[in-house]
């Protein structure tokens, strides 16, 4: 890649970060073109050519994605407040846009979200971001840490990853009811399958919250478990942490063979340290752990 192309990508990356950081602000063409220092007469075509969708559609999808997370996973905001935060002057305009994109009204999505149309609708947003957001890691980014064992409560997701959102809803509802806030009770994901197994039914991940409180043996939703202690290779990932597969592949493909270490008999897992939409997506923070012998 030439220096000129790297500079161009950096300028266009700045506008995506600006949009994520200022979803509540006026994101008109003048403001966004100013971020890149490109003429507003050309910027909208440059954006579309680079990311495959218009500035307006990108901003709308980013706002609707945040709104959908607040509807599905939060319970302290009214639909009207969420509509205003998404840049709509009236709830009915928000409802029309939401239904057009996701096939459900906001109130219906809040009570019973259909995740497959949601994933499809947000595909162009994820595709746009992936064009310039290919994270690169080096061996210097990896540290080896002795971690203590952590008792956890586990809600298992087994089956099609398209239905993971419903499991996340149950997980969040349970931890809220149990008073296990993310700021005081750590959140882990333990991957027990590939991200895209040949059969979606084989997808397997454990959603975990750190706690030593007893779990009833006959509890059909939650079971007790442990994140084992021991040596781990740790890789910190910042921003757009919904797909950690590239980071995991770096650990296995590049770091592990060069390190002389051997992986221990426990799956790769992560601890989620900050969460979208509490922080902008590009500021979400995760630590990825590869257990070592």
Q: What is the mean pLDDT of the chain?
A: 90
| pLDDT, tens digit, 9 for 90 and up, residues 157-193 | 999 988 898 899 999 999 999 999 988 999 999 999 9
Question: For the residues 269-287, what does the mean pLDDT come to?
Answer: 90
Q: Which two tokens stand for residue 164?
A: 């993971």
**CA gap 99, 71 in Å, rounded:** 13
Tell whether the model's pLDDT for residue 125 goes beyond 80.
yes
Q: Domains of the chain (ranges plus CATH)?
A: 3-130 (1.10.10.60), 139-291 (3.20.80.10)
pLDDT band at 134 (very low <50, low <70, confident <90, very high): low
Is 97 a residue whose pLDDT tops 90?
Answer: yes
Of the two residues 39 and 180, the one the predictor is more confident about is 180
Looking at residue 133, its pLDDT comes to: 60
Give the pLDDT score at 239.
82
Kindly give the interhelix angle for 91-102 and 55-73, rounded to the nearest 10 degrees. Answer: 100
**Average pLDDT for 98-108:** 94
pLDDT tens per residue across span 65-81? 999 999 998 877 899 99
Segment 219-230 mean pLDDT = 93
CB 64 within 8 A of CB 99: no
Sheet holding 204-210, edge to edge: 142-147, 230-238, 285-291, 269-274, 187-191, 204-210, 150-158, 223-227
Of the spans 35-39, 124-128, 241-245, which averages the highest pLDDT? 124-128
pLDDT at 132 over 90: no
Residue 156 β-bridge partners: 206
């Amino acid at each position: 890649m030439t220096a000129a192309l790297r500079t161009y990508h950096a300028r266009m990356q700045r506008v995506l970060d600006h949009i994520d950081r200022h979803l509540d602000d006026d994101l008109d063409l003048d403001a966004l073109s100013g971020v890149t220092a490109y003429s507003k007469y050309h910027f909208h075509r440059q954006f579309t050519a680079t990311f495959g969708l218009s500035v307006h559609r990108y901003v709308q999808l980013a706002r609707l994605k945040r709104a959908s997370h607040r509807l599905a996973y939060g319970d302290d905001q009214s639909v009207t407040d969420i509509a205003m935060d998404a840049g709509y002057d009236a709830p009915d305009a928000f409802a029309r846009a939401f239904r057009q994109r996701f096939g459900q009204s906001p109130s219906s999505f809040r009570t019973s979200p259909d995740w497959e149309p949601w994933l499809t609708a947000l595909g162009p947003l994820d595709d746009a971001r992936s064009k310039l957001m290919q994270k690169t890691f080096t061996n210097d980014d990896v540290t080896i840490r002795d971690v203590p064992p952590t008792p956890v409560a586990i809600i298992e997701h087994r089956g099609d990853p398209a239905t993971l959102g419903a499991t996340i809803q149950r997980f969040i509802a349970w931890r809220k009811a149990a008073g296990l806030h993310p700021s005081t009770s750590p959140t882990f994901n333990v991957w027990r399958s590939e991200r895209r197994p040949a059969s979606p039914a084989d997808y397997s991940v454990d959603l975990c919250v750190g706690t030593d409180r007893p779990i009833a043996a006959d509890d059909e939703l939650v079971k007790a478990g442990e994140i084992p202690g021991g040596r781990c290779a740790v890789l910190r990932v910042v921003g757009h942490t919904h797909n950690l597969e590239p980071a995991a592949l770096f650990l296995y493909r590049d770091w592990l063979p060069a390190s002389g270490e051997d992986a221990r008999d426990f799956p790769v897992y992560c601890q989620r340290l900050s969460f979208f939409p509490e922080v902008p997506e590009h500021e979400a923070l995760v630590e990825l752990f590869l257990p070592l012998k």
